[in-house]
Amino acid sequence: MAISSSTTPSLPGAADGAPSPLDVAQLARMANALFGAAPGQQALASVPGVQAPVNVAPAGSPLASPAGLAPGIPGTPVPLGQIPGSNLLPSSPTPLASLANRAPGLLPHAQAGNGIPDHALGALPAYEPRVGSAVTGVPPAVAPAAGGAAAVASPASAAPSPFYFSDLPKPGAPSAAGPREPGGLDALARLPFAVPEVPRAAPAPGSAAAGALPSAEPRFYFVDAVTLPDGYVTPPHPSRQGRGTDSGTASGRGADAGAAPAAGASARSAFDVHALRRDFPILAERVNGRPLAWLDNAATTHKPRSVIERISHFYEHENSNIHRAAHELAARATDAYEGARERVRRFLNAPDVNEVIFVRGTTEAINLVAKSWGMQHVDEGDEIIVSHLEHHANIVPWQQLASAKGAKLRVIPVDDTGQVRLDEYQKLLNSRTRIVAVTQVSNALGTVVPVKQIVEMAHRAGARALVDGAQSVSHMRVDVQDIGADFFVFSGHKVFGPTGIGALWGKREVLEDMPPWQGGGNMIADVTFEKTVYQPLPNTFEAGTGNIADAVGLGAAIDYVGRVGIEAIARYEHELLEYGMRALGSVRGVRLIGTAADKASVMSFVLAGHTTAEVGDALNQEGIAVRTGHHCAQPILRRFGVEATVRPSLAFYNTFEEIDRLVAVVERLAARRP
Whole-angstrom CA distances from 208 to 229, 407, 536 are 20, 70, 65
More confident position, 256 or 428: 428
Pairing between β-strand 408-412 and β-strand 383-387 as defined by DSSP bridges: parallel
What is the average per-residue pLDDT within 336-362? 98
* This model's pTM is above 0.75: no
**Number of residues that make up the chain:** 674
Of 384, 398, 419, the closest CA to residue 639 belongs to 419
Residue 301 pLDDT exceeds 60: yes
- Please, are residues 390 and 439 in contact by the beta-carbon 8 Å criterion? yes
Q: Is 578 a catalytic residue?
A: no
Q: Which residues is 408 bridged to in the sheet?
A: 383
E strand residue ranges, 43-155? 127-128, 133-134
Q: Which residues is 410 bridged to in the sheet?
A: 385
Which of 44-58, 85-99, 173-187 is the least confident region?
A: 173-187
Residue 453 pLDDT exceeds 80: yes
Quickly state the pLDDT bin for 250 (edges 50, 70, 90).
very low
Q: What is the DSSP letter of 333?
A: H
What pLDDT is stored for residue 325 in this prediction? 72
- Please, are residues 371 and 397 in contact by the beta-carbon 8 Å criterion? yes
Which phi and psi angles does 466 have, rounded to 5°? -120, 135
Quickly state the pLDDT bin for 243 (edges 50, 70, 90).
very low
Q: Which residues is 412 bridged to in the sheet?
A: 387
What pLDDT is stored for residue 673 in this prediction? 75
Average pLDDT over the chain, rounded to an integer: 74
Residue 86 pLDDT exceeds 80: no
Structural domains in the chain, sorted by start: 23-37+50-74+85-124 (no CATH), 277-300+565-672 (3.90.1150.10), 318-563 (3.40.640.10)
What pLDDT is stored for residue 298 in this prediction? 99
Pairing between β-strand 645-647 and β-strand 627-629 as defined by DSSP bridges: antiparallel
What is the average per-residue pLDDT within 338-366? 99
Give the separation between CA 383 and CA 272, rounded to whole angstroms. Answer: 48
Quickly state the pLDDT bin for 22 (edges 50, 70, 90).
low
- Please, are residues 358 and 551 in contact by the beta-carbon 8 Å criterion? yes
What pLDDT is stored for residue 322 in this prediction? 96
Per-residue model confidence as pLDDT tens digits over 603-638: 999 999 999 999 999 999 999 999 999 999 999 999
What is the average per-residue pLDDT within 448-467? 99
What is the average per-residue pLDDT within 368-394? 99
Which phi and psi angles does 646 have, rounded to 5°? -90, 130
Residue 221 pLDDT exceeds 50: no
Which phi and psi angles does 63 have, rounded to 5°? -90, -10
* SS3 letters across 348-389: HCCCCHHHEEEECCHHHHHHHHHHHHHHHHCCCCCEEEEECC
Give the separation between CA 463 and CA 578, rounded to whole angstroms. Answer: 36
Q: What is the CA radius of gyration of the chain?
A: 29
Quickly state the pLDDT bin for 242 (edges 50, 70, 90).
very low
What is the average per-residue pLDDT within 202-225? 34
Which phi and psi angles does 288 have, rounded to 5°? 55, 40
Give the separation between CA 317 and CA 149, rounded to whole angstroms. Answer: 54
Run of H or E including 468: strand 464-468
- Tell me the three state secondary structure of residue 330: helix
What pLDDT is stored for residue 24 in this prediction? 58
More confident position, 100 or 282: 282
Angle at 300 between CA 637 and CA 411, to 5 degrees: 30
Q: Which residues is 606 bridged to in the sheet?
A: 591
The torsion region of residue 58 among left (phi > 0), alpha (psi -120 to 50) and beta comes to beta
Quickly state the pLDDT bin for 66 (edges 50, 70, 90).
very low
CA 485 to the chain's CA centroid = 28
- Please, are residues 396 and 422 in contact by the beta-carbon 8 Å criterion? no
More confident position, 477 or 119: 477
The separation between the first and the last C-alpha atoms of the chain, rounded to the nearest angstrom, is: 73
What is the average per-residue pLDDT within 53-76? 40
Q: 96 exposed, middle or buried (CB, 10 Å; 0-12, 13-18, 19+)?
A: middle
What is the average per-residue pLDDT within 75-80? 38
The torsion region of residue 74 among left (phi > 0), alpha (psi -120 to 50) and beta comes to beta
Of 621, 616, 674, the closest CA to residue 645 belongs to 616
Residue 596 pLDDT exceeds 50: yes
Give the separation between CA 393 and CA 359, rounded to whole angstroms. Answer: 14
Quickly state the pLDDT bin for 23 (edges 50, 70, 90).
low
Run of H or E including 403: helix 396-405
What pLDDT is stored for residue 109 in this prediction? 33
Residue 161 pLDDT exceeds 70: no
Give the separation between CA 125 and CA 211, rounded to whole angstroms. Answer: 24
Quickly state the pLDDT bin for 52 (edges 50, 70, 90).
very low
Alpha-carbon torsion, ordered 258, 259, 260, 261, to 10 deg: -80
What is the average per-residue pLDDT within 111-137? 37
- Please, are residues 412 and 428 in contact by the beta-carbon 8 Å criterion? yes
Of the residues 632, 635, 640, 668, which is catalytic? 632
What pLDDT is stored for residue 407 in this prediction? 99
Cis preceding linkage at 538, omega within 30: yes
Give the separation between CA 60 and CA 71, rounded to whole angstroms. Answer: 14
Quickly state the pLDDT bin for 659 (edges 50, 70, 90).
very high
Quickly state the pLDDT bin for 71 (edges 50, 70, 90).
very low
Largest CA distance in the chain: 96
What is the average per-residue pLDDT within 498-506? 99
Per-residue model confidence as pLDDT tens digits over 520-555: 999 999 999 999 999 999 999 999 999 999 999 999
Q: For residue 105, what are the contacts with CB-CB under 8 A and spacing of at least 6?
A: 29, 32, 33, 70, 73, 114, 115, 163, 164, 165
What is the average per-residue pLDDT within 211-221? 32
Q: What is the DSSP letter of 291?
A: E
Residue 384 pLDDT exceeds 80: yes
Residue 593 pLDDT exceeds 50: yes
- Please, are residues 336 and 318 in contact by the beta-carbon 8 Å criterion? yes
More confident position, 96 or 389: 389
More confident position, 490 or 212: 490
Pairing between β-strand 487-491 and β-strand 502-506 as defined by DSSP bridges: antiparallel
- Please, are residues 475 and 571 in contact by the beta-carbon 8 Å criterion? no
Of 95, 77, 78, the closest CA to residue 86 belongs to 95
Quickly state the pLDDT bin for 326 (edges 50, 70, 90).
confident
What pLDDT is stored for residue 26 in this prediction? 67
Which phi and psi angles does 369 have, rounded to 5°? -65, -45
What is the average per-residue pLDDT within 345-355? 99
What pLDDT is stored for residue 131 in this prediction? 37
Which phi and psi angles does 607 have, rounded to 5°? -120, 120
- Tell me the three state secondary structure of residue 325: coil
Residue 19 pLDDT exceeds 60: no
